[in-house]
Chains A and B, each alone.
Chain A
Amino acid sequence: MSNVVQQKEKYSPQANRYIKVQLFFWSAYFLVNLVFVGLWGYYSHTGLLIFLLLSLLLGFASHGLRKLYHRFAHTMSALQLGLHLVWLLPATALAVQTLLHAVIYIAITIVGPSDNIQPISAGSFIGYSMNTCIMLMLWSILYLFHREFKQRRETEIAHWRDQVKLRDMELQFLRSQINSHFLFNSLNNLRSLILEDPHAARQGLSDLATLLRGVLQADNKVTVSLHEELEWVRGYLALESLQLEDRLHCHFAIDDALLEQKVPPLLLQTLVENAIKHGIAKRRTGGHIRITAQRVSPSEWQLMITNPPADSPGKHAGNSVGLNNTRARLAAAFGDQAYFELLLGDPVIARVDLPLHTACEK
């Protein structure tokens, strides 16, 4: 397993690019050093070797730092990271310089003293270390900024990918909005109604068309006006009354001032359908469904659907997929400004609190 990971790391284009950048950065450092030394007239072959060694050591040290950043940087805040760099960078610089001086010392004891090399003092050691520390700091800043930038971009891509997924789910939900049972029962009832009352059958077909158009339109809208939604709900209820006839009684109490308020498409329809499916249709004698829209505060209005419970209430615990979907769609449209609640009692009450949009906001 670790082999595979290593191979991946070795041959992935990213790792490849990292190695190239590292080579370029530290080669440049090496060359710049040479140029400066040359300009001041201190050039020597021994010096060249030392600079080469230093660049190599720094290359390895920075690679070590990268591993540390990779492992720990994402768990820290910017301040924490900064504080850690304050000790980490000088320590690394000291380690590099100590190693370098140790190598030079060993070389001198083996090969003999070179006249090109100045004697080492505490002052020069600290000076070299500071120089190294500055280089490592520069490297770290570049690396960390690059890393941050890359992460942000990846997060953004992931965010958009999630958005697309969410949208897909929404579409699927909307497609399933038209309950197949309802659709085919309606068609069957209309078929029968054509013989009994052609005029009513024609009206029924128009209602079905309105509702289907609503479902299709709802696909590409986050919200629609209450006015539009109510039209779909009325169409839906008209079709349900073909099925339920005198078992279904509907009452609307809508504040006309709210007709232009926004609701997620088919939200009310879903709740009304629930009220019928789990309430009125499951009662031998049927019942009354009440739909109210009223202003409850200067900044809020409320949709309420009231219906009697089923004759023998089932296990419908109020956390079905449909209800969760309702919550999700409200959140998508209004964030935490909207609130949905289903009270399973007698009567069953579905309540949606929505933010009030004033005319000038539109």
Chain B
Amino acid sequence: MKILIVDDSRLARKELIGLLHSHSHYEIIGEASDVQTAVTAINELCPDLVLLDINLPDGTGFDVLEQSSHTPGVIFTTAYEEHAVQAFEYNALDYLLKPIEQDRLDAAIARMESRAKHVPFNQPEKSLDAHIFIREGERCHFIKFREISRITVEGNYVRLFFGALSAPVPRSLNYVEERLDPQAFFRANRQEIINLNFIERIEPWIGDGLMIVMQDCTEVIASRRQARELKQRLEF
């Protein structure tokens, strides 16, 4: 398992390296001390797991996840329990309090590994099982791409709909589209991408278009050109 350590304190990084030493099958592939270098390291080194400090000089650990092009497994480390950490109520996510104890670290990594057995960390690109980190107000979510039902343009950002919730993501719709599995996601029009698995029914619409009714009862209109493509995709 490839591990990246992100902490602004050299001694804290050294401490973690020491703690990981007893596990020979962990490979520490890099260290980073701020958001910028951490994002670069994640994008280039593709770690399976990041030990991520929440407080960094140029931002937070959350910023790192938001800015990286893919989301590895994450164990947060922090000096003090704060509300930021409690944001992960119903997400399978670990955090460790400094000074970090060997047992706690081992247990957290063991949990990560058992999760990784079902769904490996480094999913091939565009996999539906890859995770995405989303911040919605005070709350943070790790969701799988397959859980996203719909994506709409909202100003310069896009808004992701998942479950009964939605959250803004500071990316363009085109950027997001490139990262999505084209088998599951469909660009219905300029404004919206939908997950085909969340369609409730499809009705004819004026000018050879289609009205797609989603499971959450939202209606998405596909223009004639898009409608033709959708018909091919779904073979009807």
A, B co-complexed:
yes
**Which B residues touch A247, using CB under 8 A?**
57
Tell me if B36 counts as interface (CB < 8 A to partner A).
Answer: yes
Q: How far is the CA of A327 from the CA of B100 in the complex (A)?
A: 38
Of A185, A242, A245, A283, which contacts B98 at CB under 8 A?
A: A185
Using CB atoms, name the residue of chain A closest to B79.
Answer: A184
Q: How far is the CA of A247 from the CA of B34 in the complex (A)?
A: 13
Min CB–CB distance B80 → chain A (angstroms): 4
Binds B, one of A134-142, A189-197, A329-337, A345-353: A189-197
Interface residues as binary, B92-105 with A (CB distance below 8 Å gives 1, 0 otherwise): 00000111100000
Q: How far is the CA of A281 from the CA of B12 in the complex (A)?
A: 15
Q: Is the CB of A284 within 8 A of B11?
A: no
Q: How far is the CA of A244 from the CA of B80 in the complex (A)?
A: 18
Q: Is the CB of A184 within 8 A of B18?
A: no
Q: Is the CB of A187 within 8 A of B98?
A: yes
Using CB atoms, name the residue of chain A closest to B36.
Answer: A284
Q: A181-B79, A184-B80, A184-B99 are in contact. Are A192 and B58 (CB under 8 A)?
A: no
Interface residues on chain A, number (Cβ under 8 Å): 25
**Which A residues touch B99, using CB under 8 A?**
184, 187-188, 191
Q: How far is the CA of A86 from the CA of B123 in the complex (A)?
A: 97
Interface residues as binary, B49-81 with A (CB distance below 8 Å gives 1, 0 otherwise): 000000101100000000000000000000110
Using CB atoms, name the residue of chain A closest to B97.
Answer: A184
Q: Is the CB of B18 within 8 A of A181?
A: no
Q: A282-B57, A312-B58 are in contact. Are A195 and B34 (CB under 8 A)?
A: no
Using CB atoms, name the residue of chain B closest to A195.
Answer: B18
Tell me if B191 counts as interface (CB < 8 A to partner A).
Answer: no
Q: Which of B95-117 contact A (CB under 8 A)?
A: 97-100
Tell me if A300 counts as interface (CB < 8 A to partner B).
Answer: no
Tell me if A243 counts as interface (CB < 8 A to partner B).
Answer: yes
Q: Is the CB of A188 within 8 A of B10?
A: no
Tell me if A77 counts as interface (CB < 8 A to partner B).
Answer: no
Tell me if B86 counts as interface (CB < 8 A to partner A).
Answer: no
Using CB atoms, name the residue of chain A closest to B59.
Answer: A312
Using CB atoms, name the residue of chain A closest to B10.
Answer: A245
Q: Is the CB of A196 within 8 A of B79?
A: no
Tell me if B228 counts as interface (CB < 8 A to partner A).
Answer: no
Tell me if B9 counts as interface (CB < 8 A to partner A).
Answer: yes
Tell me if B144 counts as interface (CB < 8 A to partner A).
Answer: no
Tell me if A180 counts as interface (CB < 8 A to partner B).
Answer: yes
Q: Is the CB of A181 within 8 A of B55?
A: yes
Interface residues as binary, B108-144 with A (CB distance below 8 Å gives 1, 0 otherwise): 0000000000000000000000000000000000000
Q: Is the CB of A311 within 8 A of B100?
A: no
Q: A242-B9, A282-B58 are in contact. Are A185 and B79 (CB under 8 A)?
A: yes
Q: How far is the CA of A193 from the CA of B203 in the complex (A)?
A: 68
Of B14, B36, B55, B80, which contacts A180 at CB under 8 A?
A: B80
Q: Looking at B8, B79, B99, B100, which has the most chain A CB atoms within 10 Å of its CB?
A: B79
Q: Which of B1-20 contact A (CB under 8 A)?
A: 8-12, 14-15, 18
Q: How far is the CA of A188 from the CA of B8 in the complex (A)?
A: 13
**Which A residues touch B57, using CB under 8 A?**
247, 281-284, 311
Q: Is the CB of A189 within 8 A of B9?
A: yes
**Which B residues touch A244, using CB under 8 A?**
8-9
Using CB atoms, name the residue of chain A closest to B12.
Answer: A188
Q: Is the CB of A196 within 8 A of B11?
A: yes
Q: How far is the CA of A188 from the CA of B12 in the complex (A)?
A: 7
Q: How far is the CA of A334 from the CA of B11 in the complex (A)?
A: 42
Interface residues as binary, B179-217 with A (CB distance below 8 Å gives 1, 0 otherwise): 000000000000000000000000000000000000000
**Which A residues touch B10, using CB under 8 A?**
245
Q: How far is the CA of A156 from the CA of B12 in the complex (A)?
A: 54
Using CB atoms, name the residue of chain A closest to B37.
Answer: A284
Q: How far is the CA of A87 from the CA of B57 in the complex (A)?
A: 76
Q: How far is the CA of A52 from the CA of B197 in the complex (A)?
A: 101
Q: Is the CB of A193 within 8 A of B98?
A: no
**Which B residues touch A183, using CB under 8 A?**
79
**Which A residues touch B14, using CB under 8 A?**
192, 195-196
Interface residues as binary, A299-315 with B (CB distance below 8 Å gives 1, 0 otherwise): 00000000000011000
Of B12, B36, B79, B97, which contacts A192 at CB under 8 A?
A: B12
Other 12 A-B pairs with CB < 8 A, given A181-B80, A185-B12, A189-B9 = A181-B79, A187-B99, A188-B9, A188-B12, A188-B79, A192-B14, A195-B14, A196-B11, A242-B11, A282-B57, A284-B34, A284-B57
Binding site for B on A (CB under 8 A): 180-185, 187-189, 191-193, 195-196, 242-245, 247, 281-284, 311-312
- Can you sample 10 A-B contacts with CB below 8 Å? A180-B79, A182-B79, A185-B98, A191-B99, A192-B11, A195-B18, A243-B11, A245-B9, A281-B57, A284-B57
Binding site for A on B (CB under 8 A): 8-12, 14-15, 18, 34, 36, 55, 57-58, 79-80, 97-100
